[in-house]
């Protein structure tokens, strides 16, 4: 059992899920991503530096129970209560059963914490697949608690099966006019702009999620990686589009534990979350295509880790894993571009053929 994640989780013990309104604690996520990228030796030092920006974990106020949890859903001031609730859930049942039960319940609110609820839960789940202990179980409770307490539904409810796969369905997604952008600084706040799009509620019903969930997630991440390359012209821009890849990629980690009967609904809502980010992040053009990349996997990992930026690191891990499953050069181009942009290296404009 690689104990690097346990070292990181011990350092991060008792830190809160956010270090400011809308600023998620990425420490556990980026540490786990570095381990997956075979950079365990970097984790301790990186985590110690990252912890300096964090706040203390909120104290519990009152009990969340099986009878009253619905009234605590989406209450960020109840995150401490949710942590205790999920810790108790994990004492009473296996973590696999907790994922199976709660991912479908929480799926309609997948925009929680700017999608960081699902992302943190996914990283925690993957740590547990490598070995179970108290620290890792607590981190899963933290991830689920963040998802539940910051639960955020977007306009639209899945009621019918769509007929378009992601590469086609994205062409039907309305986008917020550029003149309306800039009014919102945080991802969660920007979702308010979806109210300007009367057809957005139908987005969740447009996409065809049938068949193998892994195939669907590959189609979605390939599509959103292209959106990244077509539209990431600044660091802020890049970070918004990065989550359209990392959120569905981390859902992939949890899908083996989700019952088949819930697959369509869960996949529809991760599509909706990705398209919510797409709709409010500004569109500058369509992706022109991508040639094979001349950087090796190791070079791409080193470039991302060298930035010390949590988004670049998590994006590299997601893109390289998605590339393994769906070997398209677009994933390699996207992580290379993001690491250069975030690392303030010279970078080819995203709209150009890369």
Q: Which residue would you say has higher pLDDT here, 354 or 251?
A: 251
pLDDT given at position 233: 82
Residue 282 pLDDT greater than 80, yes or no: no
Residue 349 pLDDT greater than 70, yes or no: no
pLDDT given at position 291: 67
pLDDT given at position 350: 61
Contact 320/331 with Cβ under 8 angstroms?
yes
343 burial (CB, 10 Å; 0-12 / 13-18 / 19+) is: middle
Cα–Cα distance measured from residue 281 to residue 82, given in angstroms and rounded to the nearest whole number: 31
Q: What is the mean pLDDT of residues 5-9?
A: 98
pLDDT given at position 260: 98
Residue 2 pLDDT greater than 90, yes or no: no
Q: What is the mean pLDDT of residues 298-326?
A: 98
Which range, 53-57, 312-316, 346-350, has the best average confidence (pLDDT)? 312-316
Place 353 in a pLDDT band, splitting at 50, 70 and 90. very low
β-pair partners for 24: 18
For residue 24, count other CB atoms closer than 10 A to its CB: 22
What length is written for the chain? 354
Q: Which residues contact 201 (CB under 8 A, 6 or more apart)?
A: 155, 156, 157
pLDDT given at position 352: 42
Residue 155 pLDDT greater than 80, yes or no: yes
Residue 89 pLDDT greater than 90, yes or no: yes
Q: Which residue would you say has higher pLDDT here, 315 or 22?
A: 315
Q: What is the mean pLDDT of residues 332-346?
A: 93
3-state class (DSSP) for residue 79: helix
Q: What is the mean pLDDT of residues 9-33?
A: 95
Instruction: Report which of 72, 76, 41 is spatially closest to residue 58, judged by C-alpha positions.
Output: 76
Q: Which residues contact 249 (CB under 8 A, 6 or more apart)?
A: 122, 217, 221, 318, 321, 322
Contact 332/293 with Cβ under 8 angstroms?
yes
Cα–Cα distance measured from residue 218 to residue 286, given in angstroms and rounded to the nearest whole number: 19
pLDDT given at position 232: 86
**What phi, psi does 15 have (nearest 5°)?**
-95, 150
pLDDT given at position 186: 73
Contact 350/233 with Cβ under 8 angstroms?
yes
Tens digit of pLDDT for each residue in 91-140?
999 999 999 999 999 999 999 999 999 999 999 999 999 999 999 999 99
pLDDT given at position 292: 67
Place 60 in a pLDDT band, splitting at 50, 70 and 90. very high
User: DSSP letters along 88-153, please?
Assistant: HHHHHS-HHHHHHHHHHHHGGGBTGGGGHHHHHHHHHHHHHHT---HHHHHHHHHHHHHHHHT-BP
Average pLDDT, the chain: 93
């Amino acid at each position: 059992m690689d104990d690097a994640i346990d070292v990181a989780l011990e350092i991060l013990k008792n830190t809160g899920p956010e270090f400011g309104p809308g600023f998620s604690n990425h420490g556990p996520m980026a540490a786990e991503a570095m381990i997956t990228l075979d950079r365990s030796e970097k984790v301790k030092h990186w985590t110690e530096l990252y912890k300096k920006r964090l706040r203390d974990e909120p104290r519990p106020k009152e009990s969340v129970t099986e009878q009253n949890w619905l009234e605590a859903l989406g209450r960020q001031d109840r995150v401490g209560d949710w942590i205790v609730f999920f810790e108790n859930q994990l004492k009473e049942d296996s973590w696999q059963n907790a994922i199976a039960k709660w991912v479908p319940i929480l799926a309609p609110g997948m925009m929680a914490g700017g999608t960081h609820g699902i992302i943190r839960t996914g990283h925690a789940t993957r740590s547990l697949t490598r070995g179970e202990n108290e620290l890792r179980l607590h981190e899963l409770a933290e991830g689920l608690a963040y998802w539940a307490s910051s639960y955020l539904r977007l306009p639209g409810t899945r009621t019918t099966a769509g007929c378009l796969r992601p590469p086609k369905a994205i062409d039907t997604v309305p986008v917020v006019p550029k003149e309306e952008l800039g009014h919102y600084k945080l991802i969660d706040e920007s979702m308010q702009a979806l109210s300007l799009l009367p057809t957005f509620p139908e987005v969740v019903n447009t996409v065809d999620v049938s068949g193998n969930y892994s195939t669907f997630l590959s189609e979605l991440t390939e599509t959103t990686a292209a959106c990244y390359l077509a539209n990431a012209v600044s660091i802020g821009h890049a970070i918004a589009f990065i989550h359209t890849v990392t959120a569905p990629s981390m859902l992939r980690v949890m899908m083996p534990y989700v019952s088949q009967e819930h697959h369509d609904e869960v996949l529809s809502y991760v599509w909706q979350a990705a398209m919510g980010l797409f709709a409010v992040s500004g569109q500058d053009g369509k992706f022109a295509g991508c040639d094979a990349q001349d950087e090796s996997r190791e070079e791409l990992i080193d470039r991302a880790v060298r930035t010390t930026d949590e988004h670049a690191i998590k994006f590299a891990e997601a893109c390289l894993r998605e590339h393994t499953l769906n070997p398209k050069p677009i994933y390699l181009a996207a992580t290379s571009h993001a690491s250069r942009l975030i690392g303030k290296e010279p970078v080819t404009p995203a709209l150009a053929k890369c």
